């Protein structure tokens, strides 16, 4: 059981340019929407305190640039992440197709201890728009194939499902964080397992 | 335990084994990165940082003194030096940016310049027709084009929309921004469109107020900064390393702090460098800074010294609050629009003069700042210039 000290959950939002990463973050943290957020350059984050099952935790939510070439700098920002939020735009099939590469890239760069069980959450954003092009079923199938990744359909503009999605993100991140803590309490035992070796070798790509 | 690390007798007190281990680890990394680095350096490696003045912006009357009867500028470097020291008066910007960004040649007469302008205007509209005439059907088999178009559409709609020039729905200037970027895609399809480019174009369009002129000035700007948009980000990574080298030279105390705090990658300077401080300054100051940088005075890569000057200003806040990587990034992002540009430019120039008059400056830094290299070039095969 994790100790009752202050808990910081690091959450990384990834997805193609213009799917609404900054808007989702701002809707959740500031309860505000603007269609004039500038394209994110580099990285930035916002923090918010939330209750998860009567525990107060601080979420540190990282927003990054969506254009692929800027991801080579991601490693500095992904390190120590407790949950990764993959976003796409339900009106843009290409942004949905990119989910695979965002997930892969994150696992390579963040190299979490247990990649098969690292918590991801998928958000299909912009459901307020009429020209929807990716069906719920198709998205659910993808999430199912990736070890039952939780899936939410959101609108950052209309504040639909944003709160609910981030509650799940917080809960799953907390579970991940607790596991890491448990792991760190018994480093000698774990040193002997294969998992640990995999972590040490993970950066030799 | 006490650790002596560099000049000015800077001695750090370290408690706990972990910190010492961390420090030595970071020092070891520094040695890897910078072959000439010594743990115990001589005192007073660098000269004093001098006081620097700035001048009032260059006016129309000032400029006329550099122009002959036919409109040629013959003494280019003194004019550039003058622009470096004070910038350009707003009503002269439109004309002088065309020179600084290579749209006009300094040694062309009024007549030659007008001919060139017309020729290039025609060329612009020819290239514009190229993308304008691509049908939806063609586009369905032209994914590279479609991707570029879709990125541009997304970005122009969120570029400087709070500025009066671009605000409001159906603003024709937003369409111009779109059209110039699309035409640049036809001009340089390989580079195409990368995020940040709309930030670099918007102030140029605002100053030139002319589509074709804005395009050619933008071409000139991209010729200077295109390495910022490398697919593998090589140009950006190199500039972050260059900032590292310079900070290491001028402020070893800050450098060892950043090393220990796992922040020596300088990623918090990424936005500064990618769009040349555009997101950190208001329009008035962005225009001023950019025209100063375009003079290449007093040295190439002066923008790196602007970054070093800003870090120097923030150093106390960072160190007194014991900021780590995350807090430094947040703090650097948060000082956006609260930067004193004049003071920063003075400090950056002072740092340049300080380095230029110091004997023990490594060749890596000399190369970046265009100072004469002291040793035969074989000793530093890795050094190179980023525009």
Complex ipTM: 0.86
Residue B374 is predicted with a pLDDT of: 79
Q: What is the pLDDT along chain A (205 residues), one digit of tens a residue?
A: 445 678 999 999 999 999 999 999 999 999 999 988 999 999 999 999 999 988 999 999 999 999 989 988 877 889 899 999 999 999 999 999 999 999 999 999 999 999 999 999 999 999 999 999 999 999 999 999 999 999 999 999 999 999 999 999 999 999 988 877 666 655 444 444 444 444 444 444 3
Residue A148 Cα, gap to closest chain B Cα (Å): 31
Q: Which residues of B touch A19 (CB under 8 A)?
A: none
Residues B360 and B242 in one domain: yes
Yes or no, beta carbons of B151 and A69 under 8 Å apart: no
- Indicate whether B359 belongs to any domain: yes
Query: B52-92: per-residue pLDDT in tens?
Result: 999 999 999 999 999 999 999 999 999 999 999 999 999 99
Q: Which long-range contacts (CB under 8 A, 24 or more apart) does B134-139 make?
A: none
Q: Look at residues B212, B229, B246 and tell me which one is the last residue of a structural domain.
A: B229
CA angle A64, A66, A72 (to 5 degrees): 75
Provide the pLDDT confidence category of residue B171 given band limits of 50, 70 and 90.
very high
Q: Look at residues B229, B250, B271 and tell me which one is the last residue of a structural domain.
A: B229
Query: A29-55: per-residue pLDDT in tens?
Result: 999 999 889 999 999 999 999 999 889
Residue B203 predicted with pLDDT over 70 = yes
Residues B155 and B258 in one domain: no
Residue B18 is predicted with a pLDDT of: 44
Q: Look at residues B173, B201, B229 and tell me which one is the last residue of a structural domain.
A: B229
Residues B224 and B109 in one domain: yes
- Indicate whether B128 belongs to any domain: yes
Q: What is the pTM of this model?
A: 0.87
d(CA B31, CA B197): 36
Which B residues in the span 59-98 are in contact with A, Cβ-Cβ below 8 Å? none
Closest among B117, B109, B67, B118 to B92, alpha carbons compared = B67
- Indicate whether B272 belongs to any domain: yes
Cis amide linkage into residue B298, ω under 30° from 0: yes
d(CA B201, CA B11): 47
Residue A73 is predicted with a pLDDT of: 80
Of the candidates A67, A72, A73, the beta carbon closest to that of B194 is on A67
Compute the CA torsion angle B326, B243, B316, B321 (nearest 10 deg).
10
Residue A205 is encoded by which pair of tokens?
A: 């790509």
Of the candidates A17, A36, A77, the beta carbon closest to that of B195 is on A17
Query: B273-311: per-residue pLDDT in tens?
Result: 999 999 999 999 999 999 999 999 999 999 999 999 999
- Indicate whether B29 belongs to any domain: no
- Indicate whether B323 belongs to any domain: yes
- Indicate whether B1 belongs to any domain: no
Residues B328 and B340 in one domain: yes
- CATH number for the domain that contains residue B375: 1.10.472.80
Residue A72 is predicted with a pLDDT of: 81
- Indicate whether B384 belongs to any domain: no
Helix (H, G, I), strand (E, B) or coil at B13: strand
Residues B341 and B254 in one domain: yes
Residue A174 Cα, gap to closest chain B Cα (Å): 20
- CATH number for the domain that contains residue B180: 1.10.8.270
Residues B248 and B207 in one domain: no
Yes or no, beta carbons of B233 and A69 under 8 Å apart: yes
* Cα B120 to Cα A190, B114, B215, B219, B272, distances in angstroms: 68, 10, 10, 12, 32
d(CA A24, CA B338): 27
Closest-CA residue of A relative to B328 is A44
Residue A190 is predicted with a pLDDT of: 44
Instruction: Count up the domains in chain B and report the number.
Output: 2
Residues B222 and B252 in one domain: no
d(CA A77, CA A162): 23
Residue B43 is predicted with a pLDDT of: 45
Residues B187 and B105 in one domain: yes
* Cα B270 to Cα A65, B97, B261, distances in angstroms: 12, 26, 18
d(CA B287, CA B103): 17
Rounded average pLDDT over B241-252: 97
Residue B2 predicted with pLDDT over 60 = no
Yes or no, beta carbons of B151 and A67 under 8 Å apart: yes
Residues B369 and B245 in one domain: yes
Residue B182 predicted with pLDDT over 90 = yes
Residue A179 is predicted with a pLDDT of: 76
Distant-in-sequence, close-in-space partners of B118: CB < 8 Å, separation ≥ 6: none
Count other C-beta atoms under 10 Å from residue B323's C-beta.
21
d(CA B28, CA B39): 9
Residue B341 is encoded by which pair of tokens?
A: 């540009």
Residues B140 and B277 in one domain: no
**Half-sphere exposure at residue B371, Cβ-oriented, CA atoms within 13 angstroms:** 20
- Indicate whether B310 belongs to any domain: yes
Residue B159 predicted with pLDDT over 50 = yes
- What domain range is B146 assigned to? 101-229
Residues B186 and B299 in one domain: no
Residue B27 Cα, gap to closest chain A Cα (Å): 20
Residues B113 and B252 in one domain: no
d(CA B112, CA B56): 31
Q: Which domains does chain A have, with CATH numbers?
A: 7-201 (3.40.50.300)
């Amino acid at each position: 059981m994790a100790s009752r000290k202050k808990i910081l959950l690091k959450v990384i939002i990834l997805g193609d340019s213009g799917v609404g990463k900054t808007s989702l973050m701002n809707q959740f943290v500031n309860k505000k929407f603007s269609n004039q957020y500038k394209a994110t350059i580099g990285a930035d984050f916002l923090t918010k305190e939330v209750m998860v099952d009567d525990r107060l935790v601080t979420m540190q939510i990282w927003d990054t640039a969506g254009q692929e070439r800027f991801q080579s700098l991601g490693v500095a920002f992904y390190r120590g992440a407790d949950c990764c939020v993959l976003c796409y735009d339900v009106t843009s099939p290409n942004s949905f197709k990119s989910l695979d590469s965002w997930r892969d890239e994150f696992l390579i760069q963040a190299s979490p201890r247990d990649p098969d069980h690292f918590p991801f959450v998928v958000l299909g954003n912009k459901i307020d728009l009429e020209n929807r092009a990716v069906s719920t079923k198709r998205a659910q199938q993808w999430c199912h194939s990736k070890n039952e990744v939780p899936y939410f359909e959101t609108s950052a503009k209309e504040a639909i499902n944003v709160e609910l999605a981030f509650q799940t993100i917080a809960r799953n991140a907390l579970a991940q964080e607790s596991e890491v803590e448990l792991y760190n309490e018994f480093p000698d035992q774990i040193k002997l397992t294969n998992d640990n070796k995999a972590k040490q070798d993970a950066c030799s790509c | 335990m006490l650790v002596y690390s560099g000049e000015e007798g800077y001695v750090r007190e370290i408690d706990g084994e972990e910190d010492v281990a961390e420090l030595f680890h970071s020092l070891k990394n520094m040695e890897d990165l910078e072959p000439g680095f010594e743990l115990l350096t001589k005192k007073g490696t660098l000269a004093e940082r001098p006081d620097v003045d700035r001048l009032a912006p260059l006016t129309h009357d000032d400029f006329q003194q550099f122009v002959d009867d036919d409109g040629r500028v013959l003494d280019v470097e003194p004019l550039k030096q003058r622009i470096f020291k004070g910038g350009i008066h707003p009503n002269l910007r439109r004309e002088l940016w065309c020179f600084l960004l290579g749209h006009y040649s300094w040694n062309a007469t009024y007549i030659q310049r007008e001919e060139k302008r017309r020729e290039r205007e025609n060329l612009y509209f020819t290239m514009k027709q190229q993308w304008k005439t691509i049908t939806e059907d063609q586009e369905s088999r032209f994914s590279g084009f479609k991707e570029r178009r879709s990125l541009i559409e997304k970005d122009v709609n969120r570029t400087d929309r709070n500025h009066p020039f671009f605000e409001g729905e159906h603003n024709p200037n937003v369409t111009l921004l779109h059209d110039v970027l699309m035409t640049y895609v036809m001009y340089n399809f390989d580079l195409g469109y990368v995020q940040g480019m709309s930030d670099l174009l918007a102030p140029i369009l605002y100053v030139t107020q002319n589509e074709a002129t804005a395009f050619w000035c933008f071409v000139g700007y991209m010729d200077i900064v295109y390495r910022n948009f490398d697919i593998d980000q090589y140009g950006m990574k190199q500039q972050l390393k260059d900032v590292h080298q310079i900070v290491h030279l001028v402020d070893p105390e800050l450098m060892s702090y950043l090393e220990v705090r796992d922040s020596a990658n300088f990623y918090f300077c990424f936005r500064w460098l990618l769009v040349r401080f555009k997101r950190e300054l208001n329009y008035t100051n962005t225009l001023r800074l950019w025209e100063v940088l375009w003079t290449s005075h007093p040295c190439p890569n002066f923008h790196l010294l602007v970054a070093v000057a800003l870090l120097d200003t923030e150093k106390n806040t960072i160190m007194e609050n014991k900021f780590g990587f995350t807090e430094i990034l947040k703090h650097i992002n948060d000082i956006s629009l609260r930067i004193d540009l004049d003071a920063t430019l003075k400090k950056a120039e002072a740092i340049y003069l300080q380095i230029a008059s110091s004997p023990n400056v490594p060749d890596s830094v000399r190369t970046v700042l265009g100072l004469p290299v002291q040793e035969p070039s074989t000793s530093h095969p890795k050094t190179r210039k980023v525009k």
